[in-house]
A and B are shown apart, each in its own frame.
Chain A
């Protein structure tokens, strides 16, 4: 018959919680702190049950969306719509955006939803609050496009384009530009369809002239639509691409060049590899001098050293008269192969093998040595392990051959990869192997 409180199995638990939380330093517990922080957040006002239930409702909706329970989400949405009438004006103003996001998601996936329901919803949401009109219009358009309703999308954009509300803020202006650009994109789409039709027609055909006239009238409208957006900083790849295509088609090379160089070189624009790609392709079509092409790709090389244009860049550099360029050519090749995604890139390995031979024959081993110095610590494991030797030989003999050659040059004939490949007895490749061994012996930068 022991005393009831002293014999407790968990004596610490019986301490007065408040006392305990003060005493223990490491796990200090301040029960009032949470409340205090909350009251600071709500500016001293007690959070009403309304706010609590609507936020609970929101999390139920999010959970339902996550689990693809569209009906359940719609059920909770019914209650969540109350936030549009929240007495807290700040929350009330934020509500339409939230409801639009949730509602459009539900209507997009819901099995019973249709384009009509979506349209009705979008039209209703556009007119709640002023600030959301354009964003909702744009997203509505994208929805229509996704369902292949080009005419409806176009009409929707025209409506948005002409929408004005008092003094538009600067953010709204950017949106209007975007709306116009999308309109332009739609026009481009019909234009390119016509272009395709036109290319199928005979030039002497009666229909040809009317069709071509149609196309001309399109072009200037579109240029207005695009130009405003393209001048504001941002990433506008599809717009720029289609705009340039149209300009080129009508022979406005200077205009196209201006647009592209502005897009690529203007410092206000975010760095965008595609801008340089577009410019390069344009210049290539224009048959611009090599120097110019190299200068464009140099920038691309700095942004994306593993870009698939890099091999083309290498080829340009290789052909260049300047020694500096030729050296850069080697650097570019090594750079491409630094990336894990390019380990099985046969052309790259082929280029490297060929170029190494060329360079070493012209006796520039210093170049090779310099590139190799920074890589010799990790390339053997990264590219030339015996695992790779086996799997490369199994999957792609040509690749294995090129790699073995490079390995031999860089690591000497003692290296595992080279040894493994050269040991493989293969009738067709026997001759090739013999030559390889000879070359490696002659040129390897590793002195035996």
Chain B
């Protein structure tokens, strides 16, 4: 029986040059002629076939410890699974419903593995070279349903293909392959993974894990917009940079794994948004649950949130609601993400909401560096004359308050970014040869850091502030913090007949003509071409959302395009109408 088992190994014994191998109780090969035991192990393939094999060894499956320093055999997709697991846990800790993790994210991941032919399918990618995808690592047990995940994956394929029958390369070949791979990467398929390219395949990357999280949140209609998710990533509440640090000790990373798992950039909104659509189409997801008026992501609710955030009067909410209605932005058909639809287009809910507020501000104050100031003067005199009344919204005062807190916040943000620690405590290196160098360097840096941190000011500033969906606080009576939420818009709106009209009847378009060429952008944003107050507002909102200014400007232009359709459709004729706002 032993002889039977050991037939796959065709190498010569190093001691007696015979090719006659047997298996020891531990599953290691030994030479039957000279009894020389190699440190190479038979990979456990067929549980019943091995006599005396310990159950634990089987449970560990392919994760055989080859040498202590080499760690386990693991696949790249397992690494991503770990990261996703951590991210899901972090989201849960942030207060997101537990369903996001399981079943939603779990199912998305399963579907991804299936679509990318890594598991849950006949003849998965790994088994073409290697029998079974590795089952979940021990630490994955903290993801309740997870250990079953990949073993499930190997389960069906095991049963279907009938034990280890189909075209599996012989163990020596496999051994040398894994040996080769482990020189260039810690994972088994690191090299292969980074070289693998296939049309239509969306490769898993660390940013793509965030896209998956984003999709899961969107599916559950959680009260967490994409910009919030990315901000939490940047603030370190969700594992992203150096997420591999929390891999189990035995999962060694180096070489090609560095390119796959090491991240030296924060996720950008555009990038992740694009990835979300890409992944969703790749996964062939059905239409997402409808975004109705009671969902957080509905523009009415998001607008309310951002109005509070930037300290604008609550009364403005009526106006944003009307703009949403007129532009037709509030309909579930438009808001709901449908990857299979003819043109998969996901609404950037948070950017859109900010853009709606910008449009409303433009309607009210024109933002041409003149009208808003003269309106402020009217409001100021009104406030002086009617002191007991609820104050009228004074744009100038608001601007001063906001400018100050915005500048402070931005300064702090820039400082925090400059202090960001990118390098992980586990140094990554290109090959095992560099290992000692990398570790020495790491140690040196740690020592130097210790030295300087004793010289640094005060206690460590690392005291992380707890995550919050609001970045500014106005309700509390802080010094210099004036809350404008209760202010009225009386001075800006005037009664005409039975309806209220904005005192300012002018408007200008952020983009006169849209780019119709094949380049991706629809407009450009050259800051100096716009009024200072418009610049300030665009800067303010793009800072809140952590996006590029042109991105918000583009969204503003797109909303205006919907709002003033006639202006764009008939560029020759001069449409003349004023914006009426009914109260």
Q: Assess the A31–B526 pair: CB atoms within 8 A.
A: yes
B196 at the interface (CB under 8 A from A): no
* CB–CB B419/A16 < 8 A: no
Q: List residues of A (73-114) whose CB comes within 8 Å of B's CBs.
A: 74-79, 81-82, 84-85, 87, 99, 103, 106-107, 110, 112-113
Q: How far is the CA of A31 from the CA of B521 in the complex (A)?
A: 14
Majority SS of interface residues in chain B?
loop
A1-39 residues with Cβ-Cβ distance < 8 A to B are: 1-10, 13-21, 29, 31
Q: Determine if B419 and A121 form an interchain contact, defined as CB atoms under 8 angstroms apart.
A: no
Contacts of B456 in A (CB 8 A): 71, 74-75, 77-78
Interface size, A (range): 35 or more
Task: Answer yes or no: B40 CB below 8 A from chain A CBs.
Answer: no
Chain B residues with CB under 8 Å of A82's CB are 421-423, 445
Contact residue among A7, A10, A117 (Cβ-Cβ distance under 8 Å from B531): A10
Whole-angstrom distance between the alpha carbons of A74 and B461 in the complex?
13
Of the listed stretches B43-51, B132-140, B504-512, name the one at the interface; the rest are far from the partner chain. Answer: B504-512
- In the complex, the answer to whether B442 meets A85 with C-beta atoms within 8 Å is yes
Interface residues on B, range: 35 or more
Q: How far is the CA of A127 from the CA of B455 in the complex (A)?
A: 22
Q: Does B524 contact A (CB under 8 A)?
A: yes
| Contact of B422 with A50 in the complex, beta carbons under 8 Å | yes
The answer, yes or no, to whether B457 is at the interface (CB within 8 Å) is: yes
Residues in A whose Cβ lies below 8 Å from that of B513: 16, 19
Selected contact of B455 from candidates A6, A50, A71, A99, CB within 8 Å = A71
Query: What is the CB-to-nearest-CB distance from B542 to chain A, in angstroms, rounded to a whole number?
Result: 17
Q: Which of B423, B441, B453, B524 contacts A17 (CB 8 A)?
A: B524
Contact B576 A1 (CB under 8 A): yes
Residue-by-residue, is B439-456 near A (CB-CB < 8 Å gives 1, otherwise 0)? 001101101110111111
Q: Which residue of A lies closest to B268 (CB)?
A: A49
A398 CB to nearest chain B CB (Å): 58
Q: How far is the CA of A193 from the CA of B265 in the complex (A)?
A: 60
Are the C-beta atoms of A124 and B447 separated by less than 8 Å? yes
A7 partner residues in chain B, CB cutoff 8 A: 506
A174 at the interface (CB under 8 A from B): no
Asked if A79 contacts B418 (CB within 8 A), the reply is: yes
Q: Which of A52-60, A287-295, A435-443 contacts B (4 or more CB under 8 A)?
A: A52-60
- Once A85-B427, A85-B442 are accepted as A-B contacts, the answer to whether A57 and B419 lie under 8 Å apart by CB is yes
Q: Is A70 an interface residue (CB 8 A)?
A: yes
A418 to B13, CA, bound (A): 114
Nearest-neighbour CB distance to chain B for A54, whole angstroms, equals: 8
B526 touches A128 (CB 8 A): no
Which residues of chain B are near A31, meaning CB under 8 Å?
524, 526
User: Known contacts being A48-B265, A56-B418, A75-B461, is A103 close to B368, with CB within 8 Å?
Assistant: no
Which residues in B have their C-beta under 8 angstroms from that of A2?
505-506, 576
Whether B508 and A14, one on each chain, are in contact in the complex, defined by CB atoms closer than 8 angstroms, is yes
Q: Are A76 and B418 in contact (CB under 8 A)?
A: yes
A120 in the interface (beta carbon within 8 A): yes
Give A274 to B207 CA distance when docked, in angstroms.
65
B529 proximity list for chain A (CB < 8 A): 13, 15, 17, 20
B: which residues have CB within 8 A of A? 262, 264-266, 368-371, 414-415, 417-423, 427, 441-442, 444-445, 447-449, 451-457, 461, 505-509, 511-513, 515, 523-526, 529-531, 567, 574-576, 578-579
* Beyond A1-B578, A4-B508, A82-B445, 7 additional pairs, beta carbon < 8 A: A7-B506, A15-B529, A17-B526, A74-B457, A84-B445, A128-B441, A128-B444
Q: Nearest 3 pairs between A and B by C-beta?
A: A4-B507, A71-B457, A17-B526
